[in-house]
């Protein structure tokens, strides 16, 4: 699947964050050379993997949902 097709398949979400939390995520994202959006997606993916272990998200599972 092309990157453009994958982007179209992603769900959009309005997320409200405190200024302090946004600043910490922004700082973290800069340290890891990601956008804030990419950092939040990474953090959420890691949390799901931690919760569900081997049943966590894989690229194939993300595409089928």
Residue 10 resides in a domain: no
pLDDT tens, 6-20?
667 889 999 999 999
The answer to whether residue 35 sits within a structural domain is: yes
For residue 25, tell me if it sits in a domain: yes
The answer to whether residue 50 is domain-embedded is yes
What does the pLDDT read at residue 59? Answer: 61
Give tens-digit pLDDT for 29-65.
999 999 999 999 999 999 998 988 877 676 654 444 4
Does residue 53 sit within a domain?
yes
pTM of the predicted structure, to 2 decimals = 0.70
Closest Cα to residue 17, out of 28, 5, 1, 9? 28
User: Is residue 1 over pLDDT 80?
Assistant: no
SS3 state of residue 1: coil
In the chain, the number of structural domains is: 1
Q: Do the domain assignments include residue 4? A: no
Domain that holds residue 37: 18-64
């Amino acid at each position: 699947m092309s990157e453009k097709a994958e982007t179209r398949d992603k769900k959009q979400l309005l997320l409200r964050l405190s200024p302090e939390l946004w600043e910490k995520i922004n700082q973290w994202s800069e340290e890891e050379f990601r956008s804030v959006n990419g950092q939040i997606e990474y953090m959420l993916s890691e949390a799901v993997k931690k919760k569900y272990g081997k049943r966590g998200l894989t690229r194939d599972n993300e595409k089928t949902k």
